[in-house]
A and B are shown apart, each in its own frame.
Chain A
Amino acid sequence: MAKSLFEKAIDWGRRKSPWIIHFNAGACNGCDIEVVDAITPRFDVERFGLMLKGTPRHADVLVCTGAVTLQTRDRLKRIYEQMPDPKFVIAVGTCACSGGIFDGCYCVAGGIDAVIPVNVYVPGCAARPEAIIDAVVKLLTALENMQKGTPAAPVDDNVADVSALEEIENAVTEASAAAVHSDNQPADSATTGSQGGEE
């Protein structure tokens, strides 16, 4: 069925001015600063119609940084639930993608996708603003294809470009994360316990 003019206008609006909200789920701050960097003059991501908003109820895209800590886990879920449909999530930074260097820490639940579905992953520690812009553009392209009904690749495949350097960095992060400590820390076993209970 052809779309009405009204629906087309909404589609256009969605494509041309996605509003974003930024949430730090337990990052080291590095990626957050890079996200803010992306809106300042040198990178100026606002030229794609993007605007940083303060409340999830106004936002279409959730830009999330950091490994999810146990204390932010429920907040993150709530923020995601408060966003109106259709909603998209960009995970910025290696630790948002997979837990990265913090994976296995007693207070970390894992990457963002351990809690909410993620559409675009931007690896890099810290992810460079260029990579963040690339992720945004890819998300918008995927959105356009979706609206047009072109059988586009699922958004998940649109992983932002990674330079060779970042790939190596990821490998290193993951290798060090593999050396997960199995210390006799009480919270350790507690974490696994509560996670196991929820899944």
Chain B
Amino acid sequence: MAKNVVIPIGPQHPSLKEPACFTITLEGEKVVNAVVGTGYNHRGLEKACEARSYLQDIYIIERVCGICSHIHSTTFCQSVEELAGVEIPRRAAYIRTLMAELERLHSHLLWLGIAGHEVGFDTLLMYSWRDRELVLDILAMLGGNRVNYGINTLGGVRRDVTPEQIEKIRKVVDIVEERNKYYVQLALSETTLAARLGGIGKLSHDDAIKFGAVGPVSRAAEVADDIRVTDPYSAYDEVPVTAITDNHADVFGRTVVRVLEIMESVKMIRFCLDNLPDGDIAVKVPRKIPEGEAFVRTEAPRGEDAHYVRSNGTDKPDRVRVRAASEANWHGMKHMLEGDYLADVPIIIAAIDPCYSCTDRAIVLDNHDTGKQSVIDWRTLREYSINWYKARGIDTGKIKIADSHLIF
């Protein structure tokens, strides 16, 4: 009978670029238990948003995540626009869609490279990141920055797209499409890749629904869930979108979904460029937002991104809640890891395209002995922190916090 070995991975580790701690229990080479410890990147952005005006918040919200920065600011802007009862001009909606699809291109190419790196296929990393640079150039041209483009504003977008820019985008999109054909072929027919990625990190159709997986993770398990189709926003009501699904339900399936989605994005970008309506790019939004709540969902490259904004009639939000895609996908991680080999752990983790900066918030306790799981909610967490500091001679418990702040 083999003895169980516990291996802590992280928070600093070579394969992932962001800090997270995984405690993996092994029986021989097999993972029998996995505990995911996140929270290293928790910076308290939601709270920071409450202290600043809506316009300043866009700047913060963009920095929730440096990869899906545009989709976060879109979601936030949409929530505020909904509260203010403003409809953005069609041209602005198209530009937002265009940026979102360009962002998806760069995000999926980035993922493809990381996945290649995790399975020791560094050539793929170099190839796909080389192509990604072209997309970044376009994003920098449109928004002015390579990472946080800052193109969204309340009521529309800040920069227009000129005909010369459209020509440049077309050229780049052609190149990316050409190169991506190779990746599609690689993903679908390269036997080593299929052998390495197939059958690991399984998350079946039912489990994907049970754990609330989103984006490519759920679509790889034949859950046709794509907010662009089911609940169109921006210009997706006019832009033709096909939700790509696959039936492999493993890491291989997720790869296939992503490379095919690049192809879809290319088509959507072309559609946006062909049908870009004329008109204004922004409308005025009042500084003070009327009282109310808004909940908006969008499809980030990693899956569903949801923002909740509550306003109290002033120029600052009362509460902002960000629920990013990776947060939803973490819940199935334990299930995906168990039963697989230690060597597969990095690629299984990478396959959900994890992003910690948008995820880190709550603490999940997983007791291996009793098999019980418990989630620390805001109130308990607060009590815990008060006691923790009390034990060190600092009493923060005297500060009262309104019940309306405890929305979890």
Instruction: List chain A positions with a Cβ less than 8 A from chain B.
Output: 21-37, 40-42, 53-56, 66-67, 69, 71-72, 75, 79, 101-102, 104-108, 125-126, 128, 165, 172, 176, 179-187, 189-190, 193-194, 197
Contact A186 B130 (CB under 8 A): no
Contacts of A194 in B (CB 8 A): 389, 392, 394
Closest 7 CB pairs of A and B: A30-B66, A181-B51, A54-B14, A29-B66, A30-B147, A40-B129, A126-B147
B52:A179 contact, CB within 8 angstroms: yes
**Cβ contacts B64-86/A at 8 Å (1 or 0 each):** 11110100000000000000000
Binary per-residue interface labels of chain B (339-361) against chain A in the complex, 1 for a CB within 8 Å, 0 otherwise: 00000000000000001110000
**Are B400 and A184 in touch, CB under 8 angstroms?**
yes
Q: Are B12 and A180 in contact (CB under 8 A)?
A: no
Does A128 lie within 8 Å of B146, measured CB to CB? yes
With contacts A71-B42, A126-B148, A194-B389 taken as known, whether A102 is within 8 angstroms of B18 at the C-beta atoms is no
Stretch at the interface among B55-63, B189-197, B201-209, B242-250: B55-63
Complex A-B: 16 CB contacts under 8 Å: A26-B40, A29-B65, A32-B17, A32-B66, A42-B133, A66-B41, A75-B11, A105-B43, A126-B147, A128-B146, A165-B144, A176-B52, A179-B56, A181-B47, A185-B399, A186-B401
Taking the complex as formed, is B198 at the interface, i.e. its CB lies under 8 A from any CB of chain A?
no
Is B165 interfacial (CB-CB < 8 Å)? Answer: no
In the complex, A176→B13 CA distance in Å? 33
| Minimum Cβ distance to chain A for residue B408 (Å) | 15
Q: Which residues from chain B sit less than 8 Å from chain A, CB to CB?
A: 11-15, 17-19, 39-45, 47-48, 50-52, 56, 59-60, 63-67, 69, 110, 113, 125-126, 129-130, 133, 144-148, 355-357, 382, 385-386, 389, 392, 394, 396-397, 399-401
Which one of A24, A28, A101, A187 has the greatest number of beta carbons of chain B within 10 Å?
A28
Contact: A36 with B401, CB < 8 Å?
Answer: no
Tell me, rounded to whole Å, the shortest Cβ–Cβ distance linking B130 to chain A. Answer: 5
Contact A108 B43 (CB under 8 A): yes
Q: Apart from A30-B69, A75-B19, what are 12 other A-B pairs with CB-CB below 8 Å?
A: A35-B17, A37-B133, A40-B133, A53-B14, A72-B40, A101-B60, A125-B147, A126-B147, A181-B50, A183-B47, A189-B394, A194-B394
Distance in angstroms between the alpha carbons of A71 and B15 in the assembled complex: 20
Residue on B nearest A173 in the bound complex, by CB: B59
Residue of A with least CB distance to B14: A54
Q: In the complex, which residues of chain B have a beta carbon less than 8 angstroms from the beta carbon of A36? A: 17, 129
Interface contact A106-B44, CB-CB below 8 Å: yes
CA distance A184 to B386 in the complex (A): 13
> A22 touching B42 by the CB < 8 A rule?
no
A112→B12 CA distance, assembly (Å): 16
B401 touches A102 (CB 8 A): no
Contact partner, A183, options B13, B50, B125, Cβ 8 Å: B50
Contacting pair B396 A27 (CB below 8 A): no
Least CB distance, B391 to chain A, in whole angstroms: 12
Task: Return the contact of A186 from the options B39, B67, B385 (Cβ within 8 A).
Answer: B385
- What chain A residues lie within 8 Å of B357 (beta carbons)? 26-29
CA distance A85 to B113 in the complex (A): 33
Given A28-B64, A190-B385, A40:B56 Cβ within 8 A: no
Assuming the A-B contacts A29-B67, A54-B13, A186-B385, are A34 and B396 also in contact, with contact meaning beta carbons closer than 8 angstroms in the complex?
Answer: no
Asked whether A69 and B42 contact (CB < 8 A) given A29-B355, A29-B357, A104-B48, the answer is yes
Complexed CA–CA distance, A6 and B215 (Å):
56
Residue of A nearest to B49 (CB): A181
Contact residues in A for B18 (Cβ distance below 8 Å): 24, 27, 29, 32
CB distance from A89 to the nearest CB of B (A): 14
- A186 with B382: in contact, given A28-B63, A126-B146, A179-B56 (CB under 8 Å)? yes
User: A112–B223 Cα gap in the complex (Å)?
Assistant: 43
Say yes or no: A75 contacts B40, CB within 8 Å.
yes
B66 touches A31 (CB 8 A): yes
User: In whole angstroms, what is the CA distance A157 to B129 when docked?
Assistant: 33
Docked-complex contact A40 and B65, CB < 8 angstroms:
no
- The listed residue (B39, B52, B110, B399) touching A33 by CB distance below 8 A is B110
- B311 to chain A minimum Cβ distance, whole angstroms, is 17
Contact of B12 among A79, A107, A165 (CB under 8 A): A79
- Identify B56's interface contact among A26, A55, A176, A189, CB under 8 A: A176
